[in-house]
């Protein structure tokens, strides 16, 4: 019988030969999942022999990873801004940039009283933005919306699993909120252009939903729609936060130029790239 250390080494070699990015990390995560232990325990229990049933459970997951499936989809969940979130092929895998956006918004909103204020997370996917914000700022009344019913079902499951009381709505952009207005609107819409989509890493293009990635021919079409459609949905002094593509800063600023704003700012991610757009309405 082979030990944990031996299987870890063999699995890492197998994944490396298949060209998997960070093969050891993938092997560790898959072994940890199947053995029901933390990654650190793989090393503390390195000489524990694995039984055939465990090996049988590990093999198909290694094959999926070798075929390029994202680790997060294989594991089925991720940690995001103090929430544990299920991830399925129907939702975008929440990215680190998006966690930075949530952190920026938390720091900004923390400065003011929030009781009775409403926040909408449009294009919610897994629910990561709205759920992270509800967890950090529980006084806010938070709504999550998405066009895709399957994505919204994941967001609902994530809200329940994290004990977060949010409102869920299905529909096209702002349509589910017709006749209402919000204090804060956050959106990470699909923003990849057609050419960028074709050039995406196959691990993203072949496994994550096209409808979560492709923004249109140019990529900035969702921002154009939002700029046109958003005004009646804003309370006085409302704040809007968007995630944007790293090359879209100027275009998005221009798109929103005609709104009556008090403050408008492009904010950068940790790599120093324009990644977030913030607007405060008069």
**95 to 59, 126, 204, 280: CA distances (angstroms):** 27, 11, 12, 25
Binding mask 91-110 for ligand SAM (x = CB under 6 A): xx-x---x------------
Q: Where are the alpha helices (DSSP H) in 137-276?
A: 149-161, 194-198, 202-205, 210-213, 221-229, 249-255
Ranges within 226-255 binding ligand SAM (CB under 6 A): none
Q: Which two tokens stand for residue 232?
A: 């009646």
Q: Which of 42, 71, 100, 129 binds ligand SAM (CB under 6 A)?
A: 129
The yes or no reply on residue 147 touching ligand SAM (CB under 6 A) is yes
User: Do the strands 274-281 and 261-268 form a parallel or antiparallel pair, or are they unpaired?
Assistant: antiparallel
The yes or no reply on residue 189 touching ligand SAM (CB under 6 A) is yes
Cβ proximity to ligand SAM: between 147 and 161 the closer is: 147
Q: Which stretch binds ligand SAM (CB under 6 A): 10-18, 186-194, 230-238, 247-255?
A: 186-194
On whether the CB atoms of residues 213 and 200 are closer than 8 A, the answer is yes
The yes or no reply on residue 70 touching ligand SAM (CB under 6 A) is no
The yes or no reply on residue 172 touching ligand SAM (CB under 6 A) is yes
The yes or no reply on residue 173 touching ligand SAM (CB under 6 A) is yes
Q: Which stretch binds ligand SAM (CB under 6 A): 23-31, 62-70, 86-94, 269-277?
A: 86-94
Minimum distance of ligand SAM from residue 213's CB (angstroms): 6
Q: Cα separation of 39 and 206, whole Å?
A: 28
CA angle at residue 85 from 84 to 86, to 5 degrees? 130
Q: How many helices (H) and strands (E) does the chain have?
A: 13, 11
Cβ proximity to ligand SAM: between 81 and 256 the closer is: 81
On whether the CB atoms of residues 42 and 87 are closer than 8 A, the answer is no
Q: Which of 190, 219, 245, 249 binds ligand SAM (CB under 6 A)?
A: 190
Rg, the chain, Cα only? 21
What residue ranges bind ligand SAM (CB under 6 A)?
Answer: 91-92, 94, 98, 123-126, 128-129, 146-148, 151, 172-173, 188-190, 211-212
């Amino acid at each position: 019988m082979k030990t944990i250390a031996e299987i870890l080494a063999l699995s890492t070699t197998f994944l490396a030969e298949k060209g998997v990015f960070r093969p050891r990390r993938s092997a560790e995560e898959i072994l940890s999942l199947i053995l029901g232990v933390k990654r650190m325990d793989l090393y503390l229990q390195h000489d524990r022999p694995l039984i055939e049933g465990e090996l049988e459970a590990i093999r198909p997951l290694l094959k999926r990873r070798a075929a390029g499936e994202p680790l997060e989809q294989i594991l089925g969940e991720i940690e995001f801004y103090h929430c544990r979130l299920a991830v399925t092929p129907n939702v975008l895998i929440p990215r680190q940039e998006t966690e930075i956006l949530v952190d920026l918004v938390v720091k900004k909103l923390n400065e003011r009283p929030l009781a009775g204020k409403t926040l909408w997370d449009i294009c919610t996917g897994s629910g990561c933005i709205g759920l992270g914000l509800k967890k950090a700022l529980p006084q806010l009344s938070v709504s999550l919306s998405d066009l895709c019913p399957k994505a919204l079902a994941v967001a609902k499951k994530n809200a329940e699993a994290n004990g977060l009381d949010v409102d869920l709505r299905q529909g096209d952009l702002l349509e589910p909120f017709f006749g209402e207005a919000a204090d804060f609107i956050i959106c990470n819409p699909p923003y990849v252009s057609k050419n960028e989509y074709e050039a995406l890493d196959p691990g993203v293009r072949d496994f994550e939903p096209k409808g979560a990635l492709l923004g249109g021919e140019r990529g900035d079409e969702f921002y154009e729609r939002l700029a046109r459609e958003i005004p009646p949905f804003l309370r006085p002094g409302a704040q809007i936060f968007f995630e944007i593509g790293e090359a879209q800063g100027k275009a998005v600023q221009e798109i929103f130029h005609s709104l009556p704003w008090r403050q408008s700012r492009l904010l950068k991610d940790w790599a120093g790239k324009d990644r977030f757009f913030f607007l405060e309405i008069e």
